[in-house]
Amino acid sequence: MSKPSEINNDNIGFVPRPPVVCVMGHIDHGKSTLLDYIRKTNIVDAEAGGITQHISAYEVVHTDKEKQTRTITFLDTPGHAAFTAMRSRGARVADIAILVVSAEDGVKPQTIEALKCIIDTKTPYIVAITKIDKPGADIERTKNSMVEHEIYVEGYGGSIPCVPISAKSGEGVAELLDMVFLVADMEDLKGDPERLAEGAVIETKLDEKKGIGATIIIKNGTLIRGQAVVCGTALSPVRMMENFLGKQINEATFSSPVRIIGWNEVPPVGGIVRSYSSKKEAEKAVETARLKQAEQKNVSHTEDAKDLAIIPIVLKADVFGSIEAIEHELLKLGNERLRIKIVHSGIGDINESDIKAAGGSTNSLVIGFSVKIDNKVKTLIERNATPVHTFSIIYKLVEFIEGLITERTPKVETEEIIGKAKIMKVFSKLKDKQIIGGKVLEGIIKIGADVKIYRREVQIGTGEIRELQKMKEKTSEVQKDTEFGAMIQSQIEIAPGDRVEAFTIVKK
């Protein structure tokens, strides 16, 4: 997807617009605490497990060094590994990224992952070294940790701005916001308030009373009540428009996060939104999008190997962004013998159609994230014996599916060589039973083992060791460098100089 900020920016007469800033980094490195301090509210307590699990957008006002009051729109992106897709989407929408790195922990796996999102989208960024008030904080060690991971901040071989902060006390936060404006000025961010609005969807949600709502960041133009917006094949008249505080508004312009309620279908998260003066014009745009979609569906796609086992999953979540993130994680969990297949997904509580979509099979399962099970379908669940599981923390969901994959992956029988021996002498042969003398070259030879018989390095047949002797006494196995006598049952006539390989069948 092209960055919304790059859409139709070829006109002149633009005016400066507020920056859209994405806060990214490793879990527990202080992203939410930083935003809490900036906007003087708390969102951590509202999230299960203390982890931010949905993208949110907030407008804040800051007075810079020149006493000029300016606005910043912040996107708060999740830091947990499961939200790669969400973080990537946030970086695409943002003009500037703030990469938070804890002064206690330094660079962590999701720090690197977040940085990759930033670099891939060519988004300018600032490093905020957080938790400088903690006893274990070491700013110099943290900067060295960044150098080790090729994050070169100012004074350490690079030009990336770096601001040490304490989100709890507020130390350094004003300097960080000043740095945001400095980078924004260098990027020369502009928009045209006279044109129709364009932007991107960052979140969707189904409200049982109001219908489908989508949070949009406007990147250019002005959106006015009475217009219509389109995202792919999704359309909504702009009748109910809210700002980030949930207040009804009649008009919004660039860099503003707004929520539009009344879509005919769920718009794709990350999709580009365009506004139209009338619903009729919007409907024409939707029809064009549907024709393109139909052409794409006609393209044939090869299916995975038919002998591959599948776990069909019906996935329900509270918001579309969660579905996107969960799908991203689950589809990585398959292996060469089993894969996860999302047969149906949607937002809202688990209902009758979801159970039916599972097909009444115990092999299928219904997964809910931050949703409830409709009381009306509990009888249907019991009748169909459909496994239904709900979760409020995403990594618990992923751990559950990982366990299920381990349990359900089909076992494959493999031959495991346990020993090799050389045939020294053949004493007798009666039908398919042959008494031989030999010496163990590698591993062990034991009663009951199947053997492959080789002559001049070519396999000529197979057999089974029925009896085994060592020093003329019966034994169950013989070790390396030991001479032995054995009865081998085989249709192949064994000769001195042949070699046998003993093996067992193991299921893995």
**Within this chain, do residues 287 and 316 fall inside the same structural domain, yes or no?**
no
Task: Please tell me the predicted confidence (pLDDT) of residue 168.
Answer: 87
Residue 493 parent element (H or E)? none
Rounded Cα distance, 348 and 369, in Å: 9
Cα 196 versus chain centre, distance: 34
Instruction: Give the domain CATH number at 54.
Output: 3.40.50.300
Same domain, 258 and 344: no
Same domain for 159 and 20:
yes
Q: Kindly state whether residue 304 falls inside one of the protein's structural domains.
A: no
Instruction: Confirm whether 302 is domain-assigned.
Output: no
Q: Is residue 125 part of a domain?
A: yes
248 and 326 co-located in one domain: no
Indicate whether 426 belongs to any domain. yes
Tell me, yes or no, whether 155 and 109 share the same domain.
yes
Which residue carries 């940085």 as its tokens? 115
What's residue 296's pLDDT? 66
Model pTM? Answer: 0.65
Q: Within 10 Å of residue 346's Cβ, how many Cβ atoms?
A: 18
Question: Which is nearest to 254 in space by CA: 46, 476, 93, 432?
Answer: 93
pLDDT of residue 98: 93
Structural domains of the chain, count = 4
Q: Range of 160's domain?
A: 12-189
The confidence score (pLDDT) of residue 318 equals 86
User: What single letter denotes the amino acid at residue 495?
Assistant: A
Burial class (CB in 10 A: 0-12, 13-18, 19+), 465: buried
Over the chain (508 residues), what is each successive 10-residue block's mean pLDDT?
Answer: 43 78 84 81 50 69 83 75 60 86 90 86 92 91 91 91 92 93 93 92 81 90 96 93 89 92 86 93 92 67 57 89 83 83 88 83 86 86 85 89 88 88 94 94 94 93 94 93 95 94 86
Q: What is the pLDDT of residue 321?
A: 77
> Using CA atoms in the order 478, 480, 484, 489, what is the torsion angle rounded to 10 degrees?
70
Residues 377 and 444 in one domain: no
SS3 of 212-239: the string is: EEEEEEEEECEEECCCEEEECCEEEECC
Residue 259 maps to a domain? yes
Q: Looking at the structure, do residues 492 and 367 belong to the same domain, yes or no?
A: no
Q: Has residue 331 been placed in a domain?
A: yes
15: enclosing H helix or E strand? strand 15-16
For residue 429, being part of any structural domain is answered with yes
**By 3-state DSSP, what share of the chain in percent is helix, strand and coil, each rounded to 5?**
25, 40, 35
pLDDT at 414: 84
The pLDDT, as a whole number, for residue 122 is 87
